[in-house]
């Protein structure tokens, strides 16, 4: 059977720890929803990522990449094909004011690592629960800063399984958008150009950002951060709140009563509940303001 051949080929290079079958993706997303991945792989080296891609290509099966799962809505029926989880790509190296990290390293870890090395430039990211790869793809940002501003180089594996190093001129970053969203590749690492800074000032700024998040965001319940992008000139949260949707729920999905651009899983939400709530929100804001809200979260499956 095709599935047995694919499994055998994946097992040639992946250890037992790096391969799961029919794994519920609700375990790997911060919303805690999502059906199973046919194959969920956790390659621990760039060579293994390339092997997985070549295997998928040889059998003509789709590939989806999952970082820390903090900005995705995986549908209840799950994902057919191979899902590459980058969490085992975790090397970090500091050289002068530059940090190279593999794609699975999380932004809070990188921000703290920068602090330990007296480097400034990543304070904004201390509370963003992203992997570096996901942060690059989404051009994650906060407090007026974003990852695109400090990225110097990005290492990718393309859909032929070839490793490529891209420099600044090869990529474009805009508000929650990057040129990586248009291409098909797995981001496997990146170099960040930071600057020498005063560790006390860096730490104080990080603490300030963290305090503000705790006050404003519903961090006690599973969520995926801001669900919608801010339309030009408006805050999506304000628009949603002003049409009276704060606290409104469908099934186990609720528009947070703390921050209206967050949808929280109150315990037993399905992806369908969240999708229905997103559609209702888009419809209400469009009818009232004539503004179309665009999802920030990626919908997979
Ligand atoms: C509590 C909370 C607070 C948040 N605050 C912020 C914030 O302040 N600012 C902000 O910008 N975002 C915020 N987010 C959203 C989220 O953390 C970011 O969008 C982040 O960049 C997603 O990274 P990830 O690793 O979780 O990616 P995932 O959610 O796993 O994936 C997101 C997208 O990137 C793709 N992808 C992931 N990794 C790779 C890779 N290595 N190669 C190719 N494609 C890849 C996926 O296929 C998917 O399309 C928040 C989320 C939460 C839960």
User: Looking at residues 149-155, what average pLDDT do you find?
Assistant: 98
Domain check: are 204 and 118 in the same one?
A: yes
Domain check: are 200 and 290 in the same one?
A: no
* C-alpha closest to that of 131 among 56, 52, 42, 199: 42
End-to-end CA distance of the chain: 23
Contact 67 CB / ligand 1 (< 6 Å): yes
Domain check: are 13 and 120 in the same one?
A: no
What pLDDT is stored for residue 117 in this prediction?
98
Burial class (CB in 10 A: 0-12, 13-18, 19+), 129: buried
Contact 225 CB / ligand 1 (< 6 Å): yes
Domain check: are 67 and 102 in the same one?
A: no
CATH of the domain at 231: 3.90.78.10
Domain check: are 254 and 201 in the same one?
A: no
Quick check: is 294 catalytic?
Answer: no
Percent of the chain with pLDDT over 70: 100
Using the predicted structure, report yes or no on whether residue 4 has a pLDDT greater than 90.
Answer: no
pLDDT 10s digits, 75-108: 999 999 999 999 999 999 999 999 999 999 999 9
**Domain C-terminal end among 182, 215, 248:** 215
Burial class (CB in 10 A: 0-12, 13-18, 19+), 40: buried
Domain check: are 211 and 222 in the same one?
A: no
Reported as a pLDDT band with limits 50, 70 and 90, residue 2 is confident
Contact 65 CB / ligand 1 (< 6 Å): yes
Domain of 43, in residue numbers: 2-85
Q: Whose CA is nearest to atom 17 of ligand 1?
A: 130
Domain check: are 146 and 240 in the same one?
A: no
Q: Best substitution site from 26, 135, 138 to test ligand 1's pocket, by max atoms within 8 Å of Cβ?
A: 138
CA 79 to each of CA 36, 76, 153, 169, 301: distance values in angstroms, whole numbers, following the listed order:
6, 9, 31, 34, 5
8 Cα to the center of ligand 1, angstroms: 31
257 Cα to the center of ligand 1, angstroms: 23
Sign of the alpha-carbon dihedral angle for 173, 178, 183, 185:
positive
Contact 52 CB / ligand 1 (< 6 Å): no
Contact 206 CB / ligand 1 (< 6 Å): no
What gap in Å lies between CA 165 and CA 47, rounded to an integer? 14
What pLDDT is stored for residue 286 in this prediction?
98
CATH of the domain at 35: 3.30.43.10
Contact 140 CB / ligand 1 (< 6 Å): yes
What gap in Å lies between CA 32 and CA 69, rounded to an integer? 9
Tokens of 216: 């404003």
Contact 189 CB / ligand 1 (< 6 Å): no
Q: Three-state DSSP class for 301?
A: coil
101 Cα to the center of ligand 1, angstroms: 16
Q: Domain count of the chain?
A: 3
Question: How many Cα atoms are found within 13 Å in the side-chain-facing hemisphere of 223?
Answer: 22
Sign of the alpha-carbon dihedral angle for 173, 193, 140, 19:
positive
| Beta carbons within 10 angstroms of residue 196's beta carbon | 11
Quick check: is 226 catalytic?
Answer: yes
225 Cα to the center of ligand 1, angstroms: 9
Domain check: are 47 and 101 in the same one?
A: no
Domain check: are 161 and 211 in the same one?
A: yes
**Domain C-terminal end among 85, 120, 147:** 85
Domain check: are 185 and 228 in the same one?
A: no
Q: Which residue has the tokens 């330990």?
A: 116
Domain check: are 108 and 177 in the same one?
A: yes
What pLDDT is stored for residue 51 in this prediction?
96
Domain check: are 75 and 131 in the same one?
A: no
User: Looking at residues 107-122, what average pLDDT do you find?
Assistant: 98
CA 71 to each of CA 74, 159, 229: distance values in angstroms, whole numbers, following the listed order:
10, 23, 12
Reported as a pLDDT band with limits 50, 70 and 90, residue 183 is confident
Rounded to the nearest angstrom, the gap between the alpha carbon of residue 289 and the centroid of all alpha carbons in its chain is 29
**Domain C-terminal end among 85, 105, 131:** 85
299 Cα to the center of ligand 1, angstroms: 12
What pLDDT is stored for residue 231 in this prediction?
97
């Amino acid at each position: 059977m095709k599935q047995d051949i694919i499994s055998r080929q994946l097992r040639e290079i992946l250890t037992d720890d790096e391969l799961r079958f029919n794994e519920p993706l609700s375990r790997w997303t911060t919303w805690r929803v999502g059906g199973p991945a046919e194959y969920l792989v956790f390659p621990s080296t760039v060579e293994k990522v390339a092997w997985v891609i070549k295997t998928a290509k040889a059998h003509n099966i789709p590939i989806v990449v999952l970082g820390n799962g903090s900005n995705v809505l995986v549908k209840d029926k799950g994902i057919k094909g191979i899902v590459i989880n980058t969490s085992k790509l975790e090397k970090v190296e500091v050289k002068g004011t530059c940090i190279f990290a593999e794609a699975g390293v999380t932004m809070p870890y990188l921000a703290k690592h920068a602090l330990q090395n007296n480097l400034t430039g990543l304070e904004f990211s201390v509370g963003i629960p992203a992997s570096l790869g996901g942060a690059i793809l989404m051009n994650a940002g906060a407090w007026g800063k974003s990852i695109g501003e400090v990225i110097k180089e990005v290492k990718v594996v393309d859909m032929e399984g070839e490793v490529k190093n891209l420099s600044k001129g090869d990529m474009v970053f805009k508000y929650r958008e990057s040129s990586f969203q248009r291409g098909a590749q797995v981001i496997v690492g990146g170099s960040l150009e930071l600057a020498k800074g005063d560790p006390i000032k860096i730490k104080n700024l990080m603490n300030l950002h963290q305090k503000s998040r705790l006050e404003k965001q519903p961090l006690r319940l599973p969520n995926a951060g801001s669900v919608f992008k801010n339309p030009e000139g408006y805050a999506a949260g304000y628009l949603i709140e002003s049409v009276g949707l704060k606290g409104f729920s469908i099934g186990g999905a609720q528009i947070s009563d703390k921050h209206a651009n967050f949808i929280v899983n109150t315990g037993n939400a399905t992806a369908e509940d969240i999708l229905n709530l997103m559609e209702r929100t888009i419809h209400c804001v469009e009818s009232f303001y004539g503004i179309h809200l665009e999802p920030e979260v990626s919908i997979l499956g």
